[in-house]
Amino acid sequence: IATEKVSFDDRGDLTLRVGSLEDGGADVFEFVVCSRALARASPVFRAMLFGGFSESKPEGDTWIVKLPEDRPAPFFILLNIIHGRFRAVPQKLKLDELYQLLVVTNKYDMLSVIFQWAPSWFEPFKTLEASIEGNERLLWIAWELGDKGAFELMSRNLVLGSGIDNEGRLIDKKGVPLNTYDCYEATDILDSITKARQNLVNDLNGLFHNAIRKALKNRGCIRKEKPKVSTSSQAVVGHSSPSDGRIPFLGQVIILWTRLSIMRPDYRVVHEECSPLAYITARFEASINGFSLPILENHLNYMRSQAGKTAIGGYGPAETGEPRTKKPK
């Protein structure tokens, strides 16, 4: 296999062979590193290299550890930091670069390595709207960095802006189920968001069903004038109801709100007395503005722990195990 070789330590005793050309892999890199520096930065690598596993140093042979499932680019950044080559560390990262970097720090438990850079890397993405491509990854990035405010914003965006497939799974804008993303395999975040989304859909269904019952009991539209947009009870129910209760609504909650908002301007002009639109709109607006965020106590505990490993939490690295010492005067 053709590889590129990068030395991070002139006296490096370990070579990490990162990447694979199989399954669409683009590059394979050999990184020459200091095994002790890597072990200090990552308890996972410490166990792999010095815990009697197959990756431990062989007798007499060159020490090579193969990591075919990992990407070279995130390792290049992390190894520069671990070996003190700070001038080679980028000041900005693209969304996917930050995501891939955190996949590695999560896998090898080395988030505190990026303590100094995490806030500035994440800052440009903290307030992106739900329509931005990649918002699904932003939720996990906020989760992994322990940024509670950003996590709350992204959770709300996904509740309102995500559709589901026929199996009830949240999907991204390309129709890919979010539970197939590697980053969500070990968390229950998506379950909470799915439940919150369904609760909103159920609330809206209830509003429309009440409007249907009321329309059937009443005499219908009592005005002869025809508005620009039909907003009598029959029209509102027919055009905006998310489902009839038997067929699940697969679309985005925010799209339903947009439809109602478009219909709202004309209802007072002609059909104020017979249209259920005012009632439905007011109640639905209250629901989407006041629903409980799908954040559980175990989510908060995890994010507090993560925030303590980065400057986002305002604390120093939590897992170094080094005692606090006074600074020399």
Q: Above 70 in pLDDT, residue 282?
A: yes
Distance CA 264, CA 277 (A): 7
Domain chopping of the chain, boundaries: 194-290
Q: Above 70 in pLDDT, residue 291?
A: yes
Q: Above 90 in pLDDT, residue 44?
A: yes
Q: pLDDT band for 319, please (50, 70, 90 cuts).
A: very low
Question: What confidence score (pLDDT) does residue 255 get?
Answer: 85
Through-space distance between the first and last CA atoms of the chain, rounded to whole angstroms: 54
Q: Which stretch of 209-213, 228-232, 292-296 has the lowest confidence by average pLDDT?
A: 228-232
Which residue has better confidence, 66 or 291? 66
Distance CA 309, CA 94 (A): 22
Strands (DSSP E) along the chain, which ranges? 4-7, 14-18, 29-33, 64-67, 163-164, 170-171
Contacts of 264 (CB under 8 A, 6+ apart): 277, 281
Distance CA 84, CA 78 (A): 10
Question: What confidence score (pLDDT) does residue 210 get?
Answer: 80
Q: pLDDT band for 228, please (50, 70, 90 cuts).
A: very low
Q: Above 70 in pLDDT, residue 275?
A: no
Distance CA 107, CA 103 (A): 6
Give the bridge partners for 171, in sequence order. Answer: 163, 177
Distance CA 33, CA 16 (A): 7
Share of the chain above pLDDT 70, in %: 77
Q: pLDDT band for 218, please (50, 70, 90 cuts).
A: low
Mean pLDDT computed over 224-234: 48
pLDDT tens digits, 164-210: 999 999 998 889 999 998 788 768 889 999 999 999 988 888 887 88
31 three-class SS:
strand
Distance CA 20, CA 275 (A): 62
Axis-axis angle for helices 135-145, 189-217 (nearest 10): 130
